[in-house]
Amino acid sequence: MFCHQCEQTAKGAGCTKVGVCGKQPDVAALQDNLLYGLRGLACYASEAGKLGATDPDIDIFMLEGLFATVTNVDFDPNHLAAVIQKCAKMKDKARDMFLKAGGHEEGSSLFDRIKAFFGAEVTGKGPMAWTPATDLVKQGEQVGIETLHNDPDIRSAIEILIYGIKGMAAYADHAQILGKTSPEVLAFNHQALAATCDPDLGLMDFVNLSMECGKQNLTTMGLLNEGNVEHYGHPVPTPVSTGTKTGKGILVSGHDLKMLEELLKQTEGKGINVYTHGEMLPAHGYPGLKKYTHLAGNFGGAWQDQAKELPQFPGAIIFNTNCIQKPAESYKDRLFTWGCTAWPGVTHIDGFDFSAVIDKALACPDLAEVSGKDILVGFGHNAVLGVADKVIEAVKGGAIKHFFLIGGCDGAKSGRNYYTEFAEKVPQDSVILTLACGKYRFNKLDFGDIGGIPRLLDIGQCNDAYSAIQIAVALAGAFDCGVNDLPLSMILSWYEQKAVVILLTLLHLGIKNIKLGPSLPAFITPNVLNFLVENFNIAPITTAEEDLKAILG
């Protein structure tokens, strides 16, 4: 196996024997096989799209297939094998759609180039000719990401694009669950993945496609935001208990609000309290979810602490997206997965009937009454811009001198203490905006307020980077300057592919001087990094003290 798509990749270079995340070599090969099949499917779907033919089943499958290959989502070889078989069916469907729309395999310029490159009939070799072999693992071992391109820089640029598309697919999947899709985004997924099969494209083509991916992701995060707000209202500032109440409990981890809502409906009046975990914390700020009085609080910290924290939660536990880790035997029998998330031997819930989870919760021991500090959530763009006058006045009067967006993923590396230190050292006249699971590094600390404006504003989940962008753009408008001219610094932490696509969105918007850590992606070659430094002045984090000194002059 070879995988270096996430930040914790072995030795900062690549996981080759087993994933640091727990991904076994057979699962890695199955994910590589699936990605290869998806690239073939994308060629047909993309060319069919150019002829005006689309199919929602193919579009949604593409999202789910990509999502299954994101870090910490699908660890189940049986589940992945089933997705691969479905990919073959969808590829056939896309080919039929292409032919019915008047397309011809001979004479299509993309197909001709692919055919020439793979040195065989279109039906002989290459992603378009892919069909599942009897031994899916062996087949996957032959089509790993190291086979993407011979030129390391071009391969690096292709990988940036692929990881960007994977991250965007995750957000697009959440959005489509809420009934929100964009034909343009769905078409781009196919076009971009098809481009990865095109031998005529060079470095700058993939750089440009990556920037386009950032743009499409802004649309996608906007759609997801719209879906969340239409269903649950704008988030409002809300204190969330980190303690537990006496009684039965279900813990929900992941990012999907619709899944949580359905569970809340089905547990109403059953004497079960529902708790959030990890990236589900911002759910408490949504009026349409906080109205459920049995949405009782938030349990535990960020995803990487689950091995030590989840054994202490005596109720049922369900993961609706990443980040799931290998469960200990002590809680495996009360653990469930949902959506694209899967772990071998763990019960997977298809659809929205959560009776198995509820029955398990009722059979589990009660939680004890434990007090816990309240944390404040719910500072989406609507809430922050609702007090924009106050914020602008505080900036003009000098009470607020700087904004720091300290956001992104958390992870197990000790170097991530940087983000805690940074937040602690931020001067008293500065406001911290935060989002995603990296906030657990400091969200229980007391930061106080500036004239009634809390110094720590939790914007929400990673996809609420959309909200952060709205806030930045509105502030720039109020001060009649560009976002890069604001007294705003972005100190980002990355871990998986959703962070990659958010970074692409920020670069697409022309945002400069981002500090990125805890380490730079292993899939970025020195030449590609130089390009990013020259064009965007992106820089690795150093120490909290040095970076603060450099930013504040």
Per-residue contact string for residues 34-73; x = within reach of ligand SF4 by CB under 6 A: -------------------------------------x--
Q: How far is CA 101 from the centre of its chain?
A: 34
Cα separations (Å) of 490 from 29, 139, 415, 470? Answer: 36, 42, 18, 14
Whether the CB-CB separation of 231 and 355 falls below 8 Å is answered with no
**Residues 6+ positions from 281 with CB-CB distance below 8 Å:** 240, 298, 375, 377, 458
Q: Measured between alpha carbons, how far is residue 416 from residues 172, 230, 354, 419, 421 in Å?
A: 28, 35, 36, 6, 9
HSE-up of 259 (CA within 13 Å, CB side)? 28
Say if residues 337 and 346 touch (Cβ distance below 8 Å).
yes
- DSSP H or E segment with residue 539: strand 539-540
Of 20, 376, 387, 473, the one binding ligand SF4 by CB under 6 A = 20
**CA-CA distance, 177 to 179, in Å (whole number)?**
5
The verdict on whether residue 323 carries a ligand-binding annotation is yes
Tokens encoding 516 = 């990125």
How far is Cα 192 from Cα 182, in angstroms, rounded to an integer?
15
Tell me the closest approach of the beta carbon of residue 91 to ligand SF4, in angstroms.
25
197 is in an annotated binding site: no
Choose among ligand SF4, ligand FS2, none what residue 46 binds, the Cβ cut-off being 5 to 8 Å by kind: none
Per DSSP, the residues of 382-408 read HHHHHTHHHHHHHHHTTS--EEEEEEE
Considering only residues 471 through 490, tell me which ones interact with ligand FS2, judged by CB under 6 A.
none
Q: In this chain, which residue has its C-beta nearest to ligand SF4?
A: 19
Q: What angle do CA 289, 292, 296 make, to 5 degrees?
A: 95
**What residue has token string 């989502």?**
73
Type of residue found at 365: P
Tell me how far, at minimum, the Cβ of 14 lies from ligand SF4, in Å.
7
Residue 3: name its binding partner from ligand SF4, ligand FS2, none (Cβ under 5 to 8 Å by kind): ligand SF4
CA angle 465, 468, 472 (to 5 degrees): 140
Q: Name which of 20 and 473 has its Cβ closer to ligand SF4.
A: 20
State the DSSP code for 315: S
3-state secondary structure of 460: strand
Q: Is the Cβ–Cβ distance between 69 and 166 less than 8 Å?
A: yes
In the window 345-364, what residues touch ligand SF4 (CB under 6 A)?
none
Residue 219 structure tokens: 């649309």
Residue 21 annotated as binding? yes
Q: Which stretch binds ligand FS2 (CB under 6 A): 85-93, 493-501, 512-520, 543-551?
A: 493-501
Which residues inside 322-341 make contact with ligand FS2, applying CB under 6 A?
A: 322-323
Identity of the residue, 176 or 497, whose beta carbon is nearer to ligand SF4 in the bound complex: 497
Task: Tell which one of 4, 79, 277, 416 touches ligand SF4 (CB under 6 A).
Answer: 4
Give backbone dihedrals phi and psi of 324, rounded to 5 degrees, phi first.
-100, 145
Near ligand FS2 by CB under 6 A: residue from 79, 149, 441, 498: 498
Is 43 annotated among the ligand-binding residues?
no
Looking at beta carbons only, is 97 or 260 nearer to ligand FS2?
A: 260
Tokens matching residue 512: 């400069």
Q: How far apart are CA 295 and CA 213, in angstroms?
A: 36
Smallest distance from ligand SF4 to CB 90, Å: 24
498 annotated as ligand-binding: yes
- The answer to the question of residue 180 lying near ligand SF4 (CB under 6 A) is no
246 to 305, contacts with ligand FS2 by CB under 6 A? 255, 278-279, 303
Residue 365 is classified by DSSP as P
Told to check if 439 binds ligand FS2 by CB under 6 A, we report no
- Tell me which residues in 295-324 interact with ligand FS2 (CB under 6 A): 303, 322-323
Between residues 13 and 82, which has the closer beta carbon with respect to ligand SF4? 13
CB of 7 to ligand FS2, least distance (A): 9
By the rule CB under 6 A, 3 interacts with ligand SF4: yes
Q: How far is the CB of 5 from ligand SF4 (least distance, A)?
A: 5
3-state secondary structure of 36: helix
Say which entry of ligand SF4, ligand FS2, none residue 387 contacts (CB below 5 to 8 A, set by partner kind).
none
Q: Which stretch binds ligand SF4 (CB under 6 A): 4-12, 123-131, 317-325, 450-458?
A: 4-12
Binding residues for [4Fe-4S] cluster: 3, 6, 15, 21
Binding residues for hybrid [4Fe-2O-2S] cluster: 255, 279, 323, 409, 437, 462, 496, 498
Binding interface with ligand SF4 (CB under 6 A): 3-6, 8-9, 15, 19-21, 23, 71
Binding interface with ligand FS2 (CB under 6 A): 255, 278-279, 303, 322-323, 409-410, 436-437, 461-462, 495-496, 498
Binding residues: 3, 6, 15, 21, 255, 279, 323, 409, 437, 462, 496, 498
